[in-house]
């Protein structure tokens, strides 16, 4: 550098040094451009990756929110649905005895051959169906017979009537009609027989088979026997229970711990130990929390496997550091003058903190808590270790019952053998999960923007 300056000031003609500088300047500017370009490229690639991920998931998943079903005139034929009267509570009968009778009646309804009703209705729209009974039986997904049963149980008066119902078709038909399978594959590699394909095509053209919004995806629990009606309701409830437990446990505890550490804790070894611990816990891999849950909550305390309660406990421990760290930084940002003013007017230290500092910190605390909960909502690894990866075909009615969670349901669905159907369904589940998480994160950002005070 020194040489450059001296030579530039002493001679104005192009000395060799100056020439060298001019020449090198070009190179240096080129390097500058390159460097800048590299930075932009990195940003571009990162944005592209985000876009790729979302476009991929959405293009795969959005079609799965609509599903093919068939509109049938179901005649609840009294000759097929032969059941006794629905029991009514009689005078002097105990509720238990009535419950018993009602249960017996319901299992009697369950014995009815509802498939017969569906097949009879199908024969009306498929004239040559009678010659291909086996193909005919595969058109409507097997879970729909329970939908018919539930209709009869809800209202036995429909026996003898004819109702126009929309029943989901088999998963393979949905795959075929959506074009998710190579149609040029030879017959022996196709899931549908040639006869079924022919029926399905013509029914679709006639408008009997329609592609409608799939409520089953949201209202049904998971299913393995009737793939087309597998839904997210069970997993959603499981996740909901766990989030409630996380909110009830980790938020108050985390906030309390943060208040103690930030406002009251004396400077001593114990406080240091707690602080180091919290920082380390924040970085412990989530799967280690799963091991903790498996050995302590299930092994020692004998809590039930696969229960949202245990999952909630594990996730609470996992989110605790997040909540503590977020709350502490919020408390730290509140200027000491607030505390001093309160103390100066005669408030005790507790009063100063709880009456004056804490209310100001609430937006920040809420933001941290929401981000922690969103994190817990998307976590799946620790849940696999406490048995939440087992198949559960019912919606849990309490936090102690077996259940899965939304991310675990994604894990289970991606492994299903009927890939053509479940790739889309898994993507749809991912959209639901991402939707929930982004809503939570958006809420946190909105809260921060709306209520944040800069001191």
CA distance 64 to 42: 34
Report CA-CA distances (Å) from 318 to 206, 250, 286, 313, 366.
55, 9, 7, 9, 17
* 137 is an interface residue for another protein by CB under 8 A: no
CA distance 382 to 203: 47
Among candidate residues 78, 246, 206, the one with its CA nearest the CA of residue 152: 78
* 393 is an interface residue for another protein by CB under 8 A: no
DSSP H or E stretch at residue 25? helix 16-61
Which residues have CB under 8 Å from 350's CB, separation 6+?
none
The angle, 0 to 180 degrees and rounded to 10, between the axes of the packed helices 233-259 and 406-414 is 140
What is the secondary structure of 39-97 as a DSSP string?
A: HHHHHHHHHHHHHHHHHHHHHHHGGGGEEEEEEEEEE--TTTS---PPP-PPTT--HHH
* 387 is an interface residue for another protein by CB under 8 A: yes
* 285 is an interface residue for another protein by CB under 8 A: yes
* 384 is an interface residue for another protein by CB under 8 A: yes
Position among 307, 374, 428, 447 found at the interface with another protein (CB under 8 A): 374
**By C-beta, is 194 or 285 nearer to another protein?**
285
**By C-beta, is 191 or 402 nearer to another protein?**
402
* 242 is an interface residue for another protein by CB under 8 A: no
* 22 is an interface residue for another protein by CB under 8 A: no
CA distance 84 to 436: 46
* 49 is an interface residue for another protein by CB under 8 A: yes
CA distance 384 to 411: 10
Position among 179, 299, 335, 344 found at the interface with another protein (CB under 8 A): 299
Burial status of residue 178 (CB atoms within 10 A of its CB: 0-12, 13-18, 19 or more) = middle
* 428 is an interface residue for another protein by CB under 8 A: no
Stretch that binds another protein, among 75-83, 184-192, 213-221, 247-255 (CB under 8 A): 247-255
CA distance 273 to 60: 49
Position among 83, 137, 158, 296 found at the interface with another protein (CB under 8 A): 296
* 48 is an interface residue for another protein by CB under 8 A: no
* 104 is an interface residue for another protein by CB under 8 A: no
* 253 is an interface residue for another protein by CB under 8 A: yes
* 392 is an interface residue for another protein by CB under 8 A: no
Position among 113, 155, 225, 277 found at the interface with another protein (CB under 8 A): 277
Position among 15, 19, 32, 97 found at the interface with another protein (CB under 8 A): 32
* 56 is an interface residue for another protein by CB under 8 A: yes
CA distance 114 to 396: 26
**By C-beta, is 146 or 260 nearer to another protein?**
260
Position among 62, 89, 185, 284 found at the interface with another protein (CB under 8 A): 284
HSE, side-chain direction, 13 A CA sphere, residue 366: 17
- List binders of another protein among 167-186 (CB under 8 A): none
CA distance 293 to 221: 26
**By C-beta, is 104 or 284 nearer to another protein?**
284
Which residues have CB under 8 Å from 88's CB, separation 6+?
none
- List binders of another protein among 396-425 (CB under 8 A): 407, 410-411, 414, 423
* DSSP H helical ranges for 334-418: 336-344, 349-351, 358-378, 381-385, 406-414
Do 158 and 73 meet the contact criterion of CB atoms below 8 Å apart?
no
Among candidate residues 400, 383, 379, 401, the one with its CA nearest the CA of residue 392: 401
Position among 142, 286, 329, 416 found at the interface with another protein (CB under 8 A): 286
* 109 is an interface residue for another protein by CB under 8 A: no
**By C-beta, is 191 or 322 nearer to another protein?**
322
Do 157 and 76 meet the contact criterion of CB atoms below 8 Å apart?
no
Position among 117, 148, 385, 432 found at the interface with another protein (CB under 8 A): 385
Stretch that binds another protein, among 24-32, 90-98, 141-149, 215-223 (CB under 8 A): 24-32
Could you tell me the smallest distance in angstroms from the CB atom of residue 36 to another protein? 6
Position among 234, 308, 312, 321 found at the interface with another protein (CB under 8 A): 321
Site mask for another protein (CB under 8 A), range 333-372, x = bound: ---------------x-x----------------------
């Amino acid at each position: 550098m020194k040489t450059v300056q001296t030579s530039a000031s002493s001679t104005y003609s192009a000395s060799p040094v100056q020439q060298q500088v001019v020449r090198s300047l070009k190179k240096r500017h080129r390097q500058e451009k390159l460097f800048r370009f590299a930075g932009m490229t990195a940003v571009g690639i990162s944005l592209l990756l985000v876009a790729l991920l979302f476009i991929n998931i959405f293009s795969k998943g959005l079609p799965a929110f609509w599903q093919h079903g068939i509109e049938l005139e179901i005649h609840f034929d009294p000759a097929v649905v032969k059941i006794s009267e629905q029991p009514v509570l009689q005078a002097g009968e105990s509720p238990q005895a009535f419950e018993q009778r009602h249960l017996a009646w319901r299992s009697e309804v369950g014995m009815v051959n509802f498939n017969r009703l569906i097949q009879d209705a199908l024969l009306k729209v498929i004239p040559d169906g009678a010659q291909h009974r086996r193909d005919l039986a595969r058109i409507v997904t097997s879970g729909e017979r329970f939908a018919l049963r539930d209709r009869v149980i809800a209202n036995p008066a429909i026996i003898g009537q004819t109702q126009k119902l929309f029943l989901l078709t088999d998963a393979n038909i949905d795959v075929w009609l959506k074009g998710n399978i190579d149609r040029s594959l030879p017959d022996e590699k196709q899931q549908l027989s040639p006869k079924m394909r022919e029926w399905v095509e013509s029914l679709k053209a006639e408008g009997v088979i329609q592609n409608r919004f799939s409520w089953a995806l949201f209202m049904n629990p998971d299913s393995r026997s009737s793939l087309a009606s597998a839904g997210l309701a069970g997993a959603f409830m499981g996740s909901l229970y766990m989030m409630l437990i996380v909110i009830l446990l980790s938020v108050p505890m985390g906030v309390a711990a943060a208040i103690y550490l930030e406002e009251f804790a004396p400077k001593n070894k114990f406080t240091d130990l707690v602080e180091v611990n919290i920082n380390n816990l924040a970085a412990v891999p989530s799967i280690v929390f799963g091991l903790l849950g498996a050995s302590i909550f299930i092994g020692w305390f004998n809590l039930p496997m696969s229960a949202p309660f245990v999952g909630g406990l594990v996730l609470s421990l996992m989110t605790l550091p997040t909540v503590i760290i977020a709350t502490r930084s919020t408390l730290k940002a509140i200027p000491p003058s607030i505390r001093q003013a309160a103390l100066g007017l005669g408030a005790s230290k507790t009063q100063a903190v709880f009456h004056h500092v804490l209310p100001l910190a609430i937006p920040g605390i809420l933001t941290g808590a929401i981000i922690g909960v969103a994190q817990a909502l998307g976590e799946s690894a620790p849940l696999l270790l406490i048995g939440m990866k087992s198949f559960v075909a019912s919606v849990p009615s309490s936090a102690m019952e077996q259940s899965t969670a939304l991310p675990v349901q994604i894990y289970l669905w991606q492994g299903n053998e009927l890939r053509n159907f479940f790739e889309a369904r898994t993507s749809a589940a991912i959209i639901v999960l991402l939707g929930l998480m982004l809503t939570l994160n958006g809420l946190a950002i909105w809260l921060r923007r709306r209520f944040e005070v800069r001191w």
